[in-house]
């Protein structure tokens, strides 16, 4: 895909096949965004399928570094909970923090993948340092005001793209209660998060 479009576009991280889309695609290291990629902006939680996916990916040997523009203590607490390295206050899409994240986990460009929910910060950041990028739909619609403004701009570039993976009615759009449960269960049913022994 082009400079302003992701290499792949998924409905959520658990729709990314760990073996096929990451390991077999030549990636061993992943720079992972936090807010609305693995952690909901509104309720501040890691959805079950996302947590299981993360555990299964780590068990499969994928090495992660969290890279977030967020600078609050909460992201550090999360990193500690997940036992993952983190670079916060990253100012993505600028390269320094992404490069710092790569250094932290001994990553090489060719085998490193960026995964995040924003085109302007995550995908563009990956482009600037010459690595591949998978975009995911935001976990929930709720986000910071300036992020929501950027999302409107992003639609110019990705509005025509259909995300791959489990079709969750309204993925990224205020899924609540039963709908949210159903979506997470469907992700599990497809085998995306069958590793019940995940780290979370």
- Residue from 36, 40, 70, 88 touching Mg ion (CB under 5 A): that is 36
- Of the candidates 148, 107, 154, the one whose C-alpha atom is nearest the C-alpha of residue 135 is 154
Q: Give the number of residues written for the chain.
A: 200
Between the alpha carbon of residue 48 and those of residues 44, 59, 153, 156, the distances in Å are 13, 17, 30, 31
Task: Give dist(CA 67, CA 170) in Å, integer.
Answer: 27
Please compute Rg for the chain using Cα positions: 15
88 near Mg ion, judged by CB under 5 A:
no
In the bound state with Mg ion, the residue whose beta carbon lies nearer, of 49 and 188, is 49
Q: What is the dihedral of CA 67, 121, 144, 160, to 10 degrees?
A: -130
117 near Mg ion, judged by CB under 5 A:
yes
From 23-31, 104-112, 117-125, 167-175, span contacting Mg ion (CB under 5 A): 117-125
From 34-42, 78-86, 95-103, 186-194, span contacting Mg ion (CB under 5 A): 34-42
- Residue from 15, 33, 88, 114 touching Mg ion (CB under 5 A): that is 33
143 near Mg ion, judged by CB under 5 A:
no
35 near Mg ion, judged by CB under 5 A:
yes
- Residue closest to Mg ion (Cβ): 35
């Amino acid at each position: 895909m082009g400079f302003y479009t992701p290499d792949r576009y998924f409905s959520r991280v658990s729709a990314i096949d760990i073996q096929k889309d990451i390991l077999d695609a030549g990636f061993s290291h992943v720079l992972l965004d936090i807010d609305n990629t693995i952690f909901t902006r509104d309720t501040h939680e890691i959805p079950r399928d996302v947590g299981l996916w993360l555990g299964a990916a780590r068990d499969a040997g994928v090495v992660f570094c969290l890279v977030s523009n967020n600078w609050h203590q909460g992201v550090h607490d999360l990193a500690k909970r997940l036992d993952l390295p983190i670079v916060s206050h990253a100012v993505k899409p600028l390269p320094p923090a992404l490069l710092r994240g790569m250094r932290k986990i001994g990553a090489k460009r060719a085998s490193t993948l960026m995964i995040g929910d924003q085109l302007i910060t995550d995908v563009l950041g990956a482009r600037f340092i010459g690595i591949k990028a998978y975009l995911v739909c935001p976990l929930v619609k709720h986000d910071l005001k300036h992020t929501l403004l950027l999302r409107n701009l992003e639609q110019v570039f990705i509005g025509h793209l259909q995300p791959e993976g489990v079709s969750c009615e309204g993925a990224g759009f205020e899924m609540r209660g039963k709908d949210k449960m159903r979506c997470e269960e469907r992700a599990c049913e497809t085998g995306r998060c069958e590793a019940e022994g995940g780290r979370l």
